[in-house]
Structure 1
């Protein structure tokens, strides 16, 4: 039996909305399907509603929590797990997740991510994708839609391309505001990100790839000819089989990798 939790008021500055709907919690756990052999990591455990289910099935968990008032509450609640429940009082945006990895076992990361930092945090986590088996996140539904969108869809852009470069992306199911306390003003959704062990398309210079994607979407209603002009000419785009009159949202991840690799291979050469 866990000890009775201490009352804690959600703090707006941490973007806290605590999950309390047990039906939703069980649905998330089924989607994650934790096992005793897994190395589970939870970002922002809050009051431990999801933590409790994860621990009961996996038996061991590392939690990363920024709110300094919460670790004592969580340690009291899960004292029976001893050193199998470890809290890292840290900002997940600056945390080195690779330090949690033990041997060859990859991390399984879970989190109800604060809406105000979710995009930046996901970019940070993608930089650790080589240490990760999979990630299941509760996010604002709009962010999930952007991450899962494909070429030609309105929500398709930089976030989706970068996520899909590193991971297989699956939007799982929607979660209503009433599942949280306090209830947010937007719908949420669960997403699964499974990093590729072998990337389907390899950018020879990842920083160059990021620059191409960012530059292409600076003004998304303009054509590639206009947006990518600082990087390469329309003729260069045509030479690699890409129509310069297209808008950036029409291109696949593979197309952006092709542009990036062309630039890497022709570095220092004039493109105008």
Structure 2
């Protein structure tokens, strides 16, 4: 994909990049090939691409001979996908974050890939957290700021609730950055490609316990755990975690959250 081809497709399908859908189309084939090159050669039977747009990644994904599903919200772009990839992929015209996960159950373990719309990137991460047992891996392009949050370490400014939730169920690695000029229209921020390998079991804490705990602990980021937890738990419970109460949530490791979950629930 390049700018000339993109302009041709935009004109043919009477489409324009829609800010409401956070559409920034990749127009550099070298980066597209580099992203698709991260797909494992073995262990993956099915691939779900989020927001394929005019096929910058798709044209390389079809060459992998995997069971391919394309999820695209824009109906005009879906016409392009139907014309070009109907025989090579299943095409779903829908918002990925609003799909019933049952639609993917027949795929069992699968890989998610995509240059995801930045305005829904956090919602997509939450979808994957909620359905991590069915997903084998994700390779996604995000705004660099979100990538830093997903890979952050305790005690850093980027470390937050989303970090803890994801790192409890997956190994998260940033692979490389992408400058704005690789997209049209150019986003105002740099992007990063992140690979997420989901575990078959949580690393430390049952997500059903961790989610409400994280919500409370990070509710007021600058407050101590004592102030954040006192309205939700009895004093007897808080005394069992006395050594943590004067810390802020961002200072706690995954192992610390495991201890809190065991003591409080």
Provide the TM-score with structure 2 as the length reference.
0.89
Partner SS, residue 204 of structure 2: coil
Q: Deviations over 1:95-114 (max 9, x none)?
A: 123422436x4110001111
Q: Does residue 100 of structure 1 match 2:104?
A: yes
Tell me whether 1:210 sits opposite 2:214 in the alignment: no
Task: Name the structure 2 match of 1:166.
Answer: 169
Does 2:84 match 1:89? no
Alignment of 1:230-269 (within 5 A): 230-232=231-233, 236-237=237-238, 239-240=240-241, 242-264=243-265
Gap change, CA 1:21 and 1:242, over 3 Å in 2: farther
- Corresponding residue for 1:72? 79
1:261 shift after superposition: 2.8
Conserved 8 A contact 1:98-1:128: no
Aligned CA-pair RMSD = 2.1
- The unaligned stretches of length 5 or more in structure 2 are none
Instruction: Kindly tell me the number of residue pairs found equivalent between the two proteins.
Output: 255
| Kept in 2: contact 1:37–1:58 (CA 8 A) | no
The structure 1 residue matched to 2:9, chosen from 6, 9, 13, is: 6
**Inter-CA distance 177–231: structure 2 relative to 1 (3 Å threshold):** same
Unaligned runs of 5+ in 1: 265-272
1:119-268 aligned within 5 A = 119-203=122-206, 206-232=207-233, 236-237=237-238, 239-240=240-241, 242-264=243-265
**Alpha-carbon distance between aligned partners in 2 of 1:254 and 1:241, rounded to the nearest angstrom:** 16
Normalization by structure 1: what TM-score? 0.86
